[in-house]
Amino acid sequence: MVKTLGTQRHRSLIALLIERREASGLTQSELAAKLGQYQSFVARLESGQRRVDVIEFIELAEILRFDASAVIRTLAAETH
């Protein structure tokens, strides 16, 4: 398996998460509180230093109100 950090799909996911957080009017700290995490957790996600696991992704989708399965289909259609 190839490394996923820094790939186009990973960058697309990060861009989506940032866009959805900002569209929701949440700061990194506010999102972190909803996740039960520290602000640095969100900062590492958004800077691309950390992967998002499936359970975290579903929780982010619920909080930020986006369709997780639609995003996965879009990312899967992207070229590596």
User: Where do the structural domains in the chain lie, given as residue ranges?
Assistant: 8-77
Contact assessment for residue 48 and residue 11, using Cβ atoms and an 8 Å cutoff: yes
Architecture in CATH of 8-77: Orthogonal Bundle (1.10)
The pLDDT of residue 1:
61
Contact assessment for residue 25 and residue 63, using Cβ atoms and an 8 Å cutoff: no
Could you read off the pLDDT of 13-42 as tens digits, one per residue? 999 999 999 999 999 999 999 999 999 999
Amino acid identity, position 79? T
The pLDDT of residue 21:
98
Could you read off the pLDDT of 9-18 as tens digits, one per residue? 999 999 999 9
The pLDDT of residue 80:
62
What is the mean predicted confidence (pLDDT) over 50-74? 95
